[in-house]
Chain A
Amino acid sequence: MSDPRSLWHPVATSIDLPQHHIFHGQLLGREVAVWRADDDFVNVWENRCLHRGVRLSIGTNDGNELTCRYHGWRYANRSAGCTYIPAHPADAPARTICNRTFPAVERYGLVWSGEDPVGEPPLVPMLDDGTPFTLRSLPVNASAEIVLAQLRDHRFQPVGALDGDHAAMAVTELGDFALALTATGANYHSTAVFFVQPVDSDRSVIRAVLTDTPADSEQIAVLRHHATRLGQLVALAETAATDQPAPEPMVATIDQVSLALSVMPERETNRSAPLRVQVARKWETAHDIMAFELVSTGNPLPTFQPGAHIDVHLPNGLVRQYSITNGPGDTACYRIGVKLEAESTGGSQALHDTVNEGDVLAISEPRNNFPLRRDALRTVFIAGGIGVTPMLAMTQALQPMGLAFELHYFAQAEEHLAFDEIRSTLGDYVTVHLGLSPGETSAELTRVLQGYDHANQAYICGPGPMLEAARTIAAEAGWPDQAVHFEYFKNTTEIDDSSSFEIALARSAVTLQVPSGTTILEVLRDHGVAMPSSCEQGACGTCVVPVIEGDIDHQDVHLKQTERDAGDQIMTCVSRATSDRLVLDI
């Protein structure tokens, strides 16, 4: 007999998964939470939030994400990656926080899964050749072995002769946990395939499928006939089980969390592009803006949070950052928007002109330096042009949670408005401002940002001058620095890299020289320090390092003023020291 853990088993029936329900199942001693997302994807997850071990089956399914009942952690459809930790609303959760998932396939009206199943779920020719009709499943307090033995003696009547009692029975063995029975009598015959789901060493579920669907008018009678007959079988199996000594329960091992997850999240190590994606669709979503739908060529795509971006490594060697526009649970692809820049140095030009549907691109894992808090009483989004892309993901995350928000979308003209299909779902929450001069834009921003109140948050993404105007206006309107969040397209500051200074790495007791013309990031990497980075121009915030001592020459646009003033972190790709020495906490 094969190891049951290497086999596919049914864990539920398809009708057990109505919209927004979470089914509670068990297979081989392991509990699973099974839920269907609005995109019809069926998730089979270990029934345990890896934060504090609470069953996910008592949580909620909003059609896109599953939320744990205990602390509100949200997990994405498909990937089971954590997208939000409410206790720390300003943080982006480490995207590697991922619940254990199991494969799932729907076939014959049943949901199939397994611990570590090999190949595909079983194909049963007599079901493939027929019109399968799923019967009601029955739980049994007996081992699969006992149930299978009872099934070999099981009797039922064929459709058409349900009232009789003497159908001839024929058994067809179908592997370790399945068999088919054919009942023949009064010129009628029916075949039922029985799959026995091993729940635990002393518990099973009988899942049965008729090869042919009865006429509508007969269905209830057929279902009742089998429910009655199987009910009698269950009684026999349970009696047989009580005559035997109770078997040892199956123990499902719980995987350890990774070392990184057992402590605070670890830092990433470089500007890598480990993912390969294929352009499934490319379309012009607005004037000069191309949209790309990227699907995985291998493993499922990692979880992203609203506000996250990916680095796209282009065929010409350039690396560019683009925000993911997808809403929660929409995890089968990443959708990005690329504006053709007038003074393109080859990045947007290459994506517009040379990257086509079917092409494969290398991208980084999603990274979130623009995290969305979900504890605000009011959230104001201000987007300039292509800066709308992260806002689309953010607004789609807030809307189903019922949190108040407004999106102000500034653009030159109607034809410059991108992603109509997403905006149309946001309805009145979106206000479009077209063709405003810089002065008119400032006036509009002043109006939009008036009336700051407790627990208000603002997110602003757009061209540099608009962001600077918004920064000043928000401050004047009384918005505290920490309530206003910016994402820059790029850092237009003229970088002055003429200084030279020394950096001390506190944790490794190493001192290094940073000569003029070289960045801290480069020096660190040259000396074997693994460093994450993304835009490498002081905009995205990926290469941040904590500073213990020394005066920082901030040249990035990522840090807020209060963060700059605190003087305890530095963007190593552009910023430098005004003192002779910086002590870094690495």
Chain B
Amino acid sequence: MIKLYDYELSANCYKQRLILSLLDVPYESVPVDFFPGLEHKSDEFKKINPLGHIPVIDDDGYVLWDAHAILVYLAAKYDPSGQWYPTGDPQLLGEAASWLLFAEGTTNTASAARLYVNLGYDFDIDVCRAGAHRLFRVLDEHLWFREREGLDWVCSGSHPTIADIAIFPDVVLSEEGGVSRLDYPALRRWTDRVKALPGFTIMPGVFPVGTS
């Protein structure tokens, strides 16, 4: 079974829990005392990932780290329909790659702001927040036009991709870092759509979408 070296409050680990749940792939979560224990910086953990960060997966001996790389691997391997990582469609694949890079940006801004507030990381908070707003503005306009064209997801296909999953946690947790989504109504609607996907799972800070 896949082992996920995991920290409950990490947005990047949540990306992996989310894709595994959406793909209905069983896995074992190995909790890492990321905080306050700093276990990921321990010599023991650096034997698993010399970079000393999480998430890391161990799929039957195959070890991989970096949140977005793991998404690529999991979707490519465990989604037989080939929709989450659309290797069969060069244009969609290009879009997915482009938005995965965008997700690096949201991680380094919106999610960095969250680490500053939640766990006291030493970042320039004003730079993080301004960067997050710049990216959210672009994404909101992009998604608004997608809706206008009858499309629901960041890439132009009719099915969500790992790009949605890579961006979603950084967006949906942004208010914990002091980045309001008040100005991004299309972004808020898109988070509702992600939450309505079959197999969607929550984490602390993410509310389920509910009809009751």
Contacts and interface: CB of A to CB of B under 8 A. Distances in A.
Interface of A: 12, 15-16, 18, 20-21, 23-26, 31, 58, 60, 62-63, 67, 69, 136-137, 139, 203, 205, 220, 223-224, 227, 231, 400-402
A205 B137 CA distance: 13
A25 B212 contact: no
Contacts of A60: 209-212
Interface of A (DSSP majority class) = mixed
A137 B185 CA distance: 10
A15 B147 CA distance: 10
A46 B74 CA distance: 44
A220 B189 contact: no
A24 B145 contact: no
A402 B183 contact: no
Residue among A24, A62, A224, A231 with the most chain B CB within 10 A? Answer: A24
Contact of B207 (A58, A63, A402): A58
B148 A220 contact: yes
Given A18-B189, A60-B210, A26 B182 contact: yes
A224 B207 contact: no
A400 B181 contact: no
B144 interface: yes
A31 B180 CA distance: 12
B212 A62 contact: yes
A16 B141 contact: no
A12 B212 CA distance: 25
Contacts of A25: 182
B192 interface: yes
A400 B212 contact: yes
Nearest to B149: A220
Nearest to B144: A136
Contacts of B184: 139
A23 B209 CA distance: 14
Residue among B144, B149, B181 with the most chain A CB within 10 A? Answer: B144
B183 A139 contact: yes
Contact of A400 (B147, B148, B211): B211
Residue among B137, B207, B210, B212 with the most chain A CB within 10 A? Answer: B212
6 contacts: A16-B185, A18-B189, A60-B212, A62-B210, A137-B185, A231-B141
Residue among A21, A69, A400 with the most chain B CB within 10 A? Answer: A21
Interface string B176-212: 0000011111001100100000000000000101111
Contact of A20 (B145, B149, B181, B211): B211
Given A18-B189, A21-B189, A25-B182, A223 B211 contact: no
Nearest to B180: A24
A18 B181 CA distance: 17
A224 B145 contact: yes
A235 to B, nearest CB: 11
A24 B182 contact: yes
Nearest to A34: B185
Contacts of A139: 137, 183-184
B189 A227 contact: no
Contacts of A223: 145, 148
A18 B147 CA distance: 11
Interface in B97-128: none
B32 to A, nearest CB: 29
A434 B126 CA distance: 72
A31 B181 CA distance: 13
Given A24-B182, A401-B212, A220 B145 contact: yes
A402 B212 contact: yes
A21 to B, nearest CB: 6
B129 to A, nearest CB: 12
Interface string B144-164: 110111000000000000000
B188 A24 contact: yes
Nearest to B210: A60
Nearest to B192: A21
Contacts of B181: 24
A21 B193 CA distance: 10
A62 B209 CA distance: 10
A401 B185 CA distance: 27
Contact of B211 (A23, A24, A62): A62
Contacts of A220: 145, 148-149
Contacts of A137: 185
Nearest to B185: A16
A526 to B, nearest CB: 49
Contacts of B144: 136
Nearest to A60: B210
A401 B145 CA distance: 35
A395 B192 CA distance: 28
Contacts of B141: 136, 227, 231
B179 to A, nearest CB: 14
Nearest to A231: B141
Contacts of A16: 185, 189
Those 6 A-B pairs whose CB atoms lie nearest each other, nearest first: A139-B183, A60-B210, A62-B211, A401-B212, A16-B185, A24-B182
Nearest to A13: B185
A58 B188 CA distance: 11
A443 B141 CA distance: 66
Contacts of A400: 211-212
B209 to A, nearest CB: 7
A401 B211 CA distance: 8
Contacts of B182: 24-26, 31
Interface string B80-100: 000000000000000000000
Contacts of A203: 183
A227 B186 CA distance: 14
Contacts of A58: 207
Nearest to A16: B185
A67 B212 contact: yes
A224 B192 CA distance: 25
A138 B136 CA distance: 13
A375 B149 CA distance: 44
Residue among B145, B183, B207 with the most chain A CB within 10 A? Answer: B183
A223 B211 CA distance: 33
A448 to B, nearest CB: 27
B148 to A, nearest CB: 7
A23 B183 CA distance: 11
Nearest to A400: B212
Contacts of A136: 141, 144-145
A69 B184 CA distance: 21
A424 to B, nearest CB: 21
Contacts of B185: 12, 16, 23-24, 137
Residue among B141, B149, B189, B211 with the most chain A CB within 10 A? Answer: B211
A49 to B, nearest CB: 14
Given A25-B182, A136-B144, 17 more contacts: A12-B185, A18-B189, A21-B192, A24-B182, A24-B185, A58-B207, A60-B211, A60-B212, A63-B211, A67-B212, A69-B207, A136-B145, A137-B185, A139-B137, A227-B145, A400-B212, A402-B212
